[in-house]
Amino acid sequence: MGKDTGMPKRRHRRMRKGILFLIISAVILGIAVYLPIFTLRDIRIEGTSYLTKDDIMKIAGVYRGEPLFQLQTDVVTKRLMQDLRIEEAIVRRSLPDKLDMIIKERKPVATVACDYGYLDMDRQGKVIDGYRALKTMAIPMITGVTLHDAYIGDDVENETVKKILYFLQQLDEESLNQISEIAITGPDYLVAYTTGSVQIRLGSLERLDEKAKLTMTFLEDLKTSKYPIEYVDFNYSSPFIKLAQ
């Protein structure tokens, strides 16, 4: 009796069909990558308030006109995460011609002088930016101290500055935007200034949680105050308010 060779032949046919299918798929995909319809035309960025769209595109290394399928989203995400100003990043293609980037920034909450200029710090005390000339930004300036040997990526070690950052961390965004300066006027003694030049005498570095709540309440009431206020003092168990002369 002769051997049955039908089964091996069928297997070979299926294998050839599978290889042919893979080749055709690869060719189609290769063509699709370079089709004009799949060219990156729009980059949509969400979640930024300090970094501009141009900043994000430069950090990510993506530009309009690139083949969309050539962009490796994991590589783009890694580039974004290497920038200290970015805490989280999600990158997704959106067919046929868009790239979506959802960014969570490390937001600066205070500026302080350093050996070579100024530093911006986030709520955790990480230095996220450094520059020589003072910027115009809606974040408080910490005065009365200069940080030495501090650079981008470092964590602030100065205990007084860390306490100030803790205080600022307790404020909501609206209140934080109303503080222009926190001055260290003596050993462990702080005075905050509003954008309207009203003093908030915080005093010692104690009871900062309580003082943060009092500050938010005071700033809210200040909007509707009928009388000009010179300062409020939170050193006492009950806040003391002095009206301007």
Q: What is the length of the chain?
A: 245
Residue 126 has pLDDT above 80, yes or no: yes
How many CA atoms are closer than 13 Å to the CA of 31, on its beta-carbon side? 5
Q: How high is the pLDDT of residue 25?
A: 62
Please give the CATH architecture assigned to the domain spanning 110-243: 3-Layer(aba) Sandwich (3.40)
Residue 80 has pLDDT above 90, yes or no: yes
Three-state SS string over 50-115 comes to: CCCHHHHHHHHCCCCCCEHHHCCHHHHHHHHHCCCCEEEEEEEEECCCEEEEEEEECCCCEEEEEC
Pick from 16-20, 117-121, 193-197, 201-205: least confident: 16-20
Going through the chain in order, the beta strands assigned E by DSSP cover 42-46, 86-94, 98-105, 110-114, 117-121, 127-131, 141-147, 179-186, 189-194, 199-203, 229-233, 240-243
Under the banding of pLDDT at 50, 70 and 90, the label for residue 115 is: very high
Angle 134-212-86 from CA coordinates, rounded to 5°: 50
Peptide bond into 96 cis (omega under 30): yes
Record the tokens describing residue 29, joined without a space. 């995909």
Which superfamily, per CATH, for 39-105? membrane protein fhac (3.10.20.310)
Domain ranges in the chain are 9-37, 39-105, 110-243
Mean pLDDT confidence for 9-38 = 65
Residue 99 has pLDDT above 70, yes or no: yes
CB 88 within 8 A of CB 103: yes
Record the tokens describing residue 6, joined without a space. 């039908």
CB 230 within 8 A of CB 222: no
Give the pLDDT confidence of 160-183 residue by residue, as tens digits: 999 999 999 999 989 999 999 999
Q: pTM here?
A: 0.70
Tell which residue, 213, 218, 178, 184, has the closest CA to residue 196: 178
CB 128 within 8 A of CB 84: yes
Most confident of 66-70, 121-125, 160-164, 239-243: 160-164
